[in-house]
Amino acid sequence: DIQMTQSPSSLSAAVGDRVTIICRASRSVSSFLNWYQFKPGEAPKLLIFAASTLQSGVPSRFAGSGSETEFTLTISSLQPEDFATYYCQQTYATFRTFGQGTKVET
């Protein structure tokens, strides 16, 4: 299986901050890398697919970059509704593995 490693596992930030989350794959996943936002009690939300494509309806302050084994999710100016846990996912392989998550908190 392809292992996905996120860093950091948690971070403390304030409204307006620029936030960067890194996701590394144990081997190349090309651009088959997605980012999701999880909030307790809510349906998870797709933010970015194919490494850098913004899902329809997602604010432009979210951006993804990278390819092969190293990827980044950036929130350019953190908003109150962005405090959540973020996961990367590879869909290059049949077994679609996730990173361990990054909790963004105040």
Partner 1 sequence: EVQLVESGGALELPGGSLRLSCAASGFNFSTYEMDWVRQSPGRGLEWVSYISAGSAAIYYADSVKGRFTISRDNAKNSLYLQMNSLRVEDTGVYYCARDRWGAGHTGRYFDLWGRGTPVTVSS
101 binds partner 1 (CB under 8 A): yes
Stated as kind and residue range, the H or E segment containing 105 is: strand 102-105
Query: To the nearest whole angstrom, how small is the minimum distance from the Cβ of residue 88 to partner 1?
Result: 10
**Span near partner 1 by CB under 8 A; candidates 13-21, 40-48, 70-78:** 40-48
Site string for partner 1, 77-96 (x = CB under 8 A): ----------x-x-x--xxx
Contact in structure between 21 and 64 (CB atoms under 8 Å): no
Quick check: 103 binds partner 1 (CB under 8 A)?
no
Rounded to whole angstroms, the Cα distance separating 36 from 105 reads 16
d(CA 55, CA 60): 10
